[in-house]
Amino acid sequence: MEIETKQDLLDKQLFKNMVRNNWVAVTFANMNNIVEYVNPAACKLYGYEEHELIGQTTDIFNSKLSHNTDDIINSIKNKGYWFGEIIQRRKNNSTFHSLLSVQLILDEDNNPIGFASNSKDISHKIESEKKLKSIIEEKELLLKELHHRVKNNLAIIKGIISLQNHESLDVNGKQLVSDFKNRIDAVATLHNTLYDPENLNNLDFKPFINDLCGDLNRSFGIPEREIIITNEMESYSIEISEATPLCLIINEVLTNSFKHAFSKVTKGCINISINKEENTIIIRDNGPGFDFESLQNTSLGISLIQDLSDQIDAKFKYENNNGAQFTIQLNN
């Protein structure tokens, strides 16, 4: 018979003190699932006195609302452990959500001799998560409703403009009204793609560009003139705060191409691409281009591009590269 050394006794006493003073509920049960030890934290958690639990099966802790005790024991015997969230019960039959960890105990010869479990009440955490989820869902609904209301208000503004009698306006005046309506449509299109419950901080700009191009093509389209638009942008996220100004900048650039680049051709091309390394969006067409300097101080569209670029701390430049080419460099 092996004699325990003084160090062995000290180690055992230290272990007992650690278990007894542990704030997590600790329970030991034999292979017949009979409780042989509970620490004070376990008595407090389950509402029993120590003598009321010793000799009981661990089934006394299980509400059976989420897990079957036998299934857990079989899992421990097969795998050596069980870990998960479970609904447990107290002496007064109240239930609580618990984070339970059970480990198979082996003797020196690796023979199973019982189970050791740790249990922690996580009801407060579960309740907090439910409340947080409810708040998030409510905010998502409110945000979605906000986008719908903005779209509806924009539609009302556009409707009011359309109801006005523009017969007294000259060609330039009618064009200004038409451009204004297209700008309203651009912002409405943005709000149609802006709401994304998976990511409320950023917007994937590619779907918006596709929708905007389709809207402008329908607005400026002429049956005998074909405009091919290629969008080579990959998924590209921008901050929500930059979305509306950038939306209007791109609308002005595309509108310029639709209005002026293809007046003398039956087939035109617009290409939209992005350079992620330089953080730039490039829009080019195959039209004749134009004298940017002469229009810089007289064109409303160019003035808008300049003002909106300053608003989001972006830079843009125009080049005549076998057609008009606008490069928009974002500062993020």
Q: Over its length of 332 residues, how does the chain's per-residue pLDDT go in tens digits? A: 455 666 655 555 655 666 676 778 999 999 999 999 999 999 999 999 999 999 999 999 999 999 988 888 888 888 999 999 999 999 999 999 999 999 999 888 889 999 999 999 999 988 888 898 888 888 878 877 877 787 778 778 777 777 766 666 777 777 777 777 878 878 777 777 765 555 556 677 888 888 888 888 887 777 777 888 888 887 777 777 788 888 888 888 888 888 888 877 778 899 999 888 888 899 999 888 887 777 777 777 888 888 888 888 988 888 888 888 999 998 76
Q: Kind and range of the H or E element at 268?
A: strand 267-275
Q: How far apart are CA 85 and CA 13, in angstroms?
A: 31
d(CA 199, CA 197): 6
**Cβ-Cβ contacts under 8 Å for 127 (sequence gap 6 or more):** none
SS3 assignment, position 139 = helix
Contacts of 7 (CB under 8 A, 6+ apart): none
In this chain, the answer to whether the domains covering 6-121 and 127-329 adopt an identical fold is no
230: number of Cβ within 10 Å: 11
What is the residue extent of each domain of the chain? 6-121, 127-329
Into which CATH architecture does domain 6-121 fall? Answer: 2-Layer Sandwich (3.30)
Q: What is the CA radius of gyration of the chain?
A: 35
pLDDT value at residue 195: 59
Exposure string of 258-276, with b = 16+ CB inside 10 Å and e = fewer, is bbebbeeeeebbbbbebee
Q: What dihedral do alpha carbons 304, 305, 307, 313 form, nearest 10°?
A: 160
What is the SS3 assignment for 145?
helix
Burial 291-309 (b: 16+ CB within 10 A, else e): eeeeeeeebebbebbeebb
SS3 272: strand
- C-alpha 58/C-alpha 30 separation (Å) is 10
pLDDT of residue 20: 72
Domain 127-329 bears CATH identifier 3.30.565.10:
yes
pLDDT at res. 99: 93
**Cβ-contact 269, 287 below 8 angstroms:** no
